Structure 1
Amino acid sequence: MPMAELTLPDGVRLHVEAHGPADAPVTVVLLHGWCQDRRTWQHQVAALHVLGARRPRVITYDARGHGRSGATNLSGATLSRLGDDLAEVLRRHAPTGPVVLGGHSLGGMTIMEFAHSHPEVFADRVAGLFLVSTTAEGHTHTQYGLPSRLAALMRAGETVGAGLLARSGPWCPHRALLPALRPAVRWLLFGDECDNEALELAMRSFGRASLRSIGGFRPSVGAQQRLETLAALADVPAAVLVGERDRLTPPPCARSIAEALPFADLSVLPGAGHMLPLERPHEVSAALTAVVDRATPARRRKAKRGAVTQLEKAA
């Protein structure tokens, strides 16, 4: 498994990992969520690894301020900067060929920001989208599974707290408090059932995210509105997945995304929460594999020929 360090234009170092053949017909780039890291996708990387001749190249990386990547300054803790970071990862590690972009939570929002800020590159390169437990409407639908008034109070407290954390710097004192935080993290991120190994990985990833990363990204995450950007991506094969009991990006978030993407398949997984790649690995891997199959050049050419034939028959 080749690993590399990519230094971004502002000096932040990204930890990047590549899996699979460099000459694969498709490259899959998987982006993790807020306060998590590339390991969120470990089951999907393994599933794509065993596809044989259909095996894609897979790139995962830790976003700035997360995992094994370097700390970000406060001005760099924005979705806009994350979108630019994705553009740089593609330029350096997947410079040619079709790409499938997959994003969980913050990772999905990063993909939307990339599409907004780099529309020409997106149109030229992206052959498929995989959006999991994410939103194009900031915190519009976020209720934390609570009544509206209580959710509004919680959001206000979260916003104030995020501002304080953002100014606290690139350190991780909360790591020592992880055992005490475990019940809250389990309630917030997972649904009816929770595998202990999945929860432990989510906790460890959270412990590696700095206070600046926990708080700094909050304003741009809450404010993002990218449904119009998605509506311009009409011909991109896509899958949109969400857990029925997702407290952070509930099903209305996924439905609005699917409505904006005419070629998207929407799946609402019963009883599941926010951490679908870890919580429901088999369903997520199967959906990702289906998008990768649709994005391969041979399948896309066949689909286009079929569409032309249908139009000729209709005429």
Structure 2
Amino acid sequence: MTSKSTIFVAPRKCTLERDSGPALHIAEWGSTSPRVTIILAHGLALSHGSWEDVAQLVVTADPTVRVLAYDHRGHGQSQSAPASLELLADDLAAVISAYAPVGPIVLGGHSMGGMTLMALAERDNMVLEARVVGVAFVATGAGDILGRLMRRGFWSWLVSLALTVAPLLVIPSRPLLIVRQLTRAVLFGYRPFRHDLNRAVGQLASSNPRSVAQLTRSILSHDRYSALDRFDCRVVVFAGSRDLLTPVYHARAIHRRVPKSGLVIFPNSGHFLPYERRGEIAAHLLGLTMPMAYSDSDVA
């Protein structure tokens, strides 16, 4: 589905308070006694709101499923704290322990969220082996993020400069034309909806610039190809043909290294697949909750 969702299912909101980490804001849709819980992790400088359309579609199609989406530390309504992919993996483990302590789980990660799933596999494989029945990697990569640019001196210098000044930047919550156009160019593919652009900019504005800069540094050193063989479950890998941040070759590299995976490449789509391809993503997530398998070939 490529149009705006006409369905609205108000999520239940809660906060995970912890002694050893920042409080995390969590949204929950669907059954309170689910057959499967889907847990969704969002991308850099976004929020759980990036998954809201997908979550609504999933629980409308199958009310026996529960969907959890949460704000990473320093994002959305979660507290700020020192941030890295390793710490995000610890946060995800805490969410699972607190809100899905029993029963089968499907994990979905968009961009940095997918990298968080890989970091979790690297740090705590017991959860994957015991309870995770499916994984969706959405517009993400296992390493060498922006590698082709970073190997060029000018772009490496420019990224370093951007990371230096990023903590000082403030993004307006009411999107100016230039902010909307930059968001469109970087995050979206062909002809995105204005509503989606405005929501994306609103999420960018709610993220903590210092946390975003710290996580960007962590993402640039992210190399977890060796962790991919730990995903011994059904996996589907998504990519947009116009994605500038994690181009299709990242998805193909993950697909090659995960035996039980399917690969879905969306033509004319960019990086923000949970908005651009909300219907297809929701359908595949539901598929991962069912006793069915993806082939090891590309899925168009």
TM interval, short-chain normalised: 0.7 to 0.9
Per-residue CA shift, 1:154-175, capped at 9, x if unaligned? 3431223213434x4xxx6322
Query: Residue 215 of structure 1 aligns to a residue in which SS?
Result: helix
Matched, 1:60 2:69: yes
Residue of structure 1 equivalent to 2:187 = 189
Percent sequence identity over aligned pairs: 31
Matched, 1:105 2:103: no
Residue of structure 2 equivalent to 1:157 = 158
What are the equivalent positions in structure 2 for 1:1-315 lying under 5 Å apart? 1-52=11-62, 55-72=64-81, 76-139=82-145, 141=147, 143=149, 149=152, 153-166=154-167, 168=168, 173-175=170-172, 178-179=175-176, 180-233=178-231, 235-293=232-290, 299=291
CA distance in 2 between counterparts of 1:181 and 1:3 reads 29
CA distance in 1 between counterparts of 2:238 and 2:173 reads 33
CA distance in 2 between counterparts of 1:38 and 1:138 reads 26
Per-residue CA shift, 1:62-82, capped at 9, x if unaligned? 11100111122xxx2100000
CA distance in 2 between counterparts of 1:20 and 1:282 reads 17
Per-residue CA shift, 1:109-157, capped at 9, x if unaligned? 011101110111221121110110001014155659xxx85xx533431
Which shifted more, 262-271 or 284-293?
A: 284-293
Unaligned 5+ segments in structure 1 are 294-298, 304-315
Q: CA deviation at 1:254?
A: 0.4
Query: Given that residues 143 and 247 in structure 1 are in contact (C-alpha distance below 8 angstroms), is that contact kept between their aligned partners in structure 2?
Result: no
Query: Residue 217 of structure 2 aligns to a residue in which SS?
Result: helix
Per-residue CA shift, 1:87-115, capped at 9, x if unaligned? 00000000011110000001000111011
Code of the aligned partner of 1:70: Q
CA distance in 2 between counterparts of 1:38 and 1:62 reads 5
Per-residue CA shift, 1:184-203, capped at 9, x if unaligned? 11101111221111111101
Distance of aligned partners of 1:236 and 1:11 in 2 relative to their CA distance in 1, 3 Å threshold: closer
CA distance in 2 between counterparts of 1:158 and 1:265 reads 33
CA distance in 1 between counterparts of 2:148 and 2:44 reads 15
Per-residue CA shift, 1:30-73, capped at 9, x if unaligned? 111000011111121111112346x311111111100111122x
Query: Given that residues 191 and 246 in structure 1 are in contact (C-alpha distance below 8 angstroms), is that contact kept between their aligned partners in structure 2?
Result: yes
Residue of structure 1 equivalent to 2:7 = none
CA distance in 1 between counterparts of 2:273 and 2:263 reads 14
Which shifted more, 23-32 or 281-290?
A: 281-290
Query: Residue 253 of structure 2 aligns to a residue in which SS?
Result: helix
Structure-1-length-normalised TM-score: 0.84
Query: Given that residues 66 and 209 in structure 1 are in contact (C-alpha distance below 8 angstroms), is that contact kept between their aligned partners in structure 2?
Result: yes
Spell out structure 1 runs of 4+ moving beyond 3 A: 8-11, 140-144
Q: CA deviation at 1:245?
A: 0.7
CA distance in 2 between counterparts of 1:7 and 1:245 reads 39
Query: Given that residues 173 and 202 in structure 2 are in contact (C-alpha distance below 8 angstroms), is that contact kept between their aligned partners in structure 1?
Result: no
Query: Residue 172 of structure 2 aligns to a residue in which SS?
Result: helix
Structure-2-length-normalised TM-score: 0.88
CA distance in 1 between counterparts of 2:131 and 2:156 reads 37
Query: Given that residues 44 and 285 in structure 1 are in contact (C-alpha distance below 8 angstroms), is that contact kept between their aligned partners in structure 2?
Result: yes
Distance of aligned partners of 1:182 and 1:155 in 2 relative to their CA distance in 1, 3 Å threshold: farther
Unaligned 5+ segments in structure 2 are 1-10, 294-300
Q: CA deviation at 1:2?
A: 2.4
Per-residue CA shift, 1:207-242, capped at 9, x if unaligned? 111211221111110111111111232x31011000
Aligned length: 282
Code of the aligned partner of 2:270: G
Code of the aligned partner of 1:162: L
Residue of structure 2 equivalent to 1:309 = none
CA distance in 1 between counterparts of 2:173 and 2:110 reads 26
